[in-house]
Amino acid sequence: MVAKKAQAGQFVILRIDEKGERIPLTIADYDREQGTITIIFMEVGKTTKQLGTLNVGDTIENFAGPLGVASEVKNYGTVVCVGGGVGIAPLYPIVRALKEAGNYIISILGAKNKKLLLLEEEIESFSDEIYITTDDGSKGHKGFVSDVLQKQIDNKEKIDMVMAIGPVIMMKVVADLTKKYDIKTLVSLNPIMVDGTGMCGGCRVSVGDKTKFACVDGPEFDGHEVDFNNLMLRNRRFLKEEEDACKLKEVK
């Protein structure tokens, strides 16, 4: 059911078992015919670590979606798609959709190292240009996605839009950079959520000094308006509890 409706930019909420937490994960791919949704996640907390231990054929208690507003797909012209780490996963369907809408796509993918670089081939097949950066230089440019983005801005005649998904700090750096050149920039936010359907208000983010709810107003917002510092602060709310939960349940 979720696969039938899924669109680029949307997310799902899942829960592993009766006692589990509801966590949001952005959709990395979908197959309407097979009825499947692909999610790619990093093992950062108890739920994702447990999710990592499941095998093909295992089931989880709950899976609801697709949630959030889909990406606005249209012909912008030249679009730079910036993905960092596990953020590359949700970027993939957006790259594909934007390419199919006739955009000229420049993809910039960043990862810690070559091994952790996701979906390079898939994204390349829908990109007109692709650039890789790694923190350790094991592939492509050694450094940050923003270095490459700066070069692109310097070299290209015109960039109509930048789409950035990755760690909050990466999206902040990208948005700060494009603001200087007044390039429209969208970012996909990942605040802590509980219900994900516009009820609890836990995922509130400050956008242009207004309180917005990532689950129903987002997850994509104008990167120049987002208060990234507040998002980072609110995403640290339960770090200690998460750590304790992992230790107690002996999830590694």
In the region spanning residues 11 to 30, those forming contacts with other proteins, defined by CB under 8 A, are 15, 19-22
Decide whether 179 or 237 has the Cβ nearer to other proteins: 237
Quick one: which of 32, 74, 151, 249 contacts other proteins (CB under 8 A)?
Answer: 249
Quick one: which of 65, 83, 84, 223 contacts other proteins (CB under 8 A)?
Answer: 65
Q: How far is the CB of 181 from other proteins (least distance, A)?
A: 29
Is residue 53 part of the contact set for other proteins (CB under 8 A)?
no
CB-based contact 161:76 (threshold 8 Å): yes
Q: Which H or E run contains 121? A: helix 120-124
Is residue 60 part of the contact set for other proteins (CB under 8 A)?
no
Q: Say how far apart CA 45 and CA 252 lie, in whole Å.
A: 9
> Comparing C-alpha atoms, which of 156, 71, 70 is closest to residue 105?
156
In the region spanning residues 166 to 205, those forming contacts with other proteins, defined by CB under 8 A, are 194-195, 197-202, 204
CA dist 73 to 77, 90, 200, 232, 245, Å? 12, 14, 29, 28, 40
Which residues lie closer than 8 Å to 126 by C-beta, 6 or more apart? 95, 96, 99, 100, 105
Torsional sign, CA 189, 171, 71, 224? positive
Decide whether 136 or 243 has the Cβ nearer to other proteins: 243
Is residue 44 part of the contact set for other proteins (CB under 8 A)?
no
Q: How far is the CB of 246 from other proteins (least distance, A)?
A: 9
Decide whether 143 or 198 has the Cβ nearer to other proteins: 198
Q: Tokens 């920039």 identify what position?
A: 185
Decide whether 125 or 197 has the Cβ nearer to other proteins: 197
SS3 210: strand
Decide whether 17 or 222 has the Cβ nearer to other proteins: 17
Q: Say how far apart CA 39 and CA 121 lie, in whole Å.
A: 17
The site for other proteins (CB under 8 A) is made up of 1-2, 5, 15, 19-22, 46-47, 61-67, 194-195, 197-202, 204, 206, 211, 213, 216, 227, 230, 233-234, 236-238, 241-242, 244-245, 248-249
